[in-house]
Amino acid sequence: MTKYIITGGAGFIGSHVAEYLSKKKKKVVILDNLSTGRIDNIKNFKSKIKFVKCDISKKGKWINEFKGKIYVIHLASVADIVPSIQYPEKYFNSNVNGTLNVLNACRKCKVLKLIYSASSSCYGIPKEYPTKEINDLKPMYPYAFTKKAGEDLIIHWSKVYNIPFISLRLFNVYGTRSRTSGTYGAMFGVFLAQKLFNKPFTIVGTGKQKRDFTYVSDVVSAIMKACNSKIKNEIFNVGSGSTVSILKIVKILRGKKIFIKKRPGEPDITFANISNIKRKLNWKPKIKIEEGINLMLKDIQYWKNAPVWTPSKIKKATKLWFKYLNEK
C-alpha cells in the first residue's frame, strides 16, 4: 500500500494535509519533533495515522519509515523572520540539514515523489508583479535563505540521484491552526491574539502593503495535485490569485488599530503568478479572504495561549531586524 510520509505533520499545514489523507483512508506517517507542531492539531485523527516523534535534522530510527512506495511531503521547518536573524544556526540546521537528511532517506527507497514546501520569501523584493517562478531569487534574511538552500538541494539531488520532486513556493499561507509560538511572526497569529484580548492591531507602516494570502485548504489541494500529477521536477508558485491590503484585513477583523515603524527588507507587495500551476496541475484557489478569515474567527480560541504583542514588545523583538536589515 502506498504510504505518505509528512515531515512536520503536526504543524500548521502538515496537520491539514494529514487530516485530509486520513479521511481518504490513506496510510500516513507523521514525523515531527513538536518544536512548533502540536499534538492537539492531530488529536482528532491521531488513531488513524502513525506518529513518530523525531528530529529530522539528526539521523535516527525515523529513517526506517522510508520503505516501499512512498510520497514524501516535506513541510518540516522553522519559520519566522525575527528568530532566524537571532538564531541562524538553528534555522540552517533545521531547514537545510533536515532537508539533506530527508533527501538521503529518499535515496534508499522507492520514492514516488517528494513534495517540498518552499517559500515566496526567497524572491526577496521582486521587480515584477505578479511574480513568476523564473524571477530572480534574492532572500533577504536567514529564514528565506535556508528555504532557498533546501530547494537547491532538492533540485541537485534530483538530478544526481533521480529523486522526482515538485517544489511549491507558498505565498502567505493562513488558516486555522496557524502558529501560536512565542516568537513575533505571522501576521494573522499576531492579529487574532490581539483581537481575542481586545488589544489594538499593530499595523506595520501605513498598512497599504498588499499580500497574496493563501488559505491552508487551497495549499492542501495544491500538494495533492502535485502528488497525483505525472509532472515532476518542476517549481510552482501557490497563491490566491489576488492581493489584499493589511488595512482591509483589519477592517474585516474589526477593532482598534495602531501603527508601528515599517520594517526594512519586506516587500510592499507579494503577488504570485499562478498561471503555471493552473495550467500544468489543473489547480486553482477556492477560498476568498473574507471566507478564510471567518473560518479563523470561528476557531479564535485556538490563539488563547498565543503571546499578545504590543508596540513596545514588538520594538524589542525586532531590534536585531532593524540592526541587520536596515536599508543602506
SS (H, E, C) 265-309: CCCCECCECCHHHHHHCCCCCCCCHHHHHHHHHHCHHHHCCCCCC
Exposure on the CB side of residue 135, measured as CA atoms within 13 A: 23
234 shares a domain with 99 = yes
Q: How does the average pLDDT of the chain come out, rounded?
A: 94
From CA 171, how far away is CA 263, in angstroms rounded?
A: 19
77 shares a domain with 187 = no
Domain-embedded: residue 275? no
Closest CA to 139 of 100, 183, 182, 91: 91
Q: What is the pLDDT of residue 327?
A: 56
User: Is the distance from CB of 267 to CB of 124 less than 8 angstroms?
Assistant: yes
Mean pLDDT of 147-169: 98
What's the total number of domains in the chain?
A: 2
Strand partners, 174: 215
111 shares a domain with 79 = yes
Domain-embedded: residue 328? no
Domain-embedded: residue 311? yes
pLDDT in tens, 117-139: 999 999 999 999 999 999 999 99
Directed axis angle between helix 216-228 and helix 12-23, to 10°?
60
118 shares a domain with 185 = no
161 shares a domain with 15 = yes
pLDDT in tens, 36-66: 999 999 999 999 999 999 999 999 999 999 9
226 shares a domain with 178 = no
86 shares a domain with 189 = no
88 shares a domain with 230 = yes
Closest CA to 176 of 217, 212, 120, 210: 217
From CA 189, how far away is CA 175, in angstroms rounded?
A: 9
pLDDT at 183 over 90: no
Domain-embedded: residue 292? yes
pLDDT at 181 over 80: no
pLDDT at 108 over 90: no
Q: What is the pLDDT of residue 89?
A: 97
Domain-embedded: residue 280? no
Domain-embedded: residue 59? yes
Backbone angles phi, psi at 79, to 5 degrees: -120, -170
pLDDT bracket for residue 328 (50, 70, 90): very low
264 shares a domain with 156 = no
Domain-embedded: residue 19? yes
161 shares a domain with 54 = yes
Q: What is the pLDDT of residue 321?
A: 82
> How many Å is the Cα radius of gyration of the chain?
19
222 shares a domain with 76 = yes
pLDDT at 292 over 80: yes
CATH no. for residue 198?
Answer: 3.90.25.10
CATH no. for residue 223?
Answer: 3.40.50.720
pLDDT bracket for residue 325 (50, 70, 90): confident
Q: Order of strands across the sheet with 110-119?
A: 50-53, 27-32, 3-7, 69-74, 110-119, 165-170, 234-238
Least confident of 8-17, 69-78, 263-272, 285-294: 263-272
**Is the entire prediction scored with pTM above 0.85?**
yes
200 shares a domain with 90 = no
Pairing of strands 173-174, 3-7: unpaired
Helix (H) or strand (E) holding 99: helix 98-106
What percentage of the chain exceeds 90 in pLDDT?
A: 86
User: Is the distance from CB of 139 to CB of 97 less than 8 angstroms?
Assistant: no
Least confident of 56-60, 186-190, 215-219: 186-190
Closest CA to 72 of 39, 34, 106: 106
Domain-embedded: residue 148? yes
Residues noted as catalytic: 143
DSSP designation for 262: P
From CA 168, how far away is CA 225, in angstroms rounded?
A: 11
Query: Which range marks the domain in which residue 204 is found?
Result: 174-211+241-270+286-319
Mean pLDDT of 175-199: 84
| Cα–Cα–Cα angle for 36, 39, 43, rounded to 5 degrees | 145
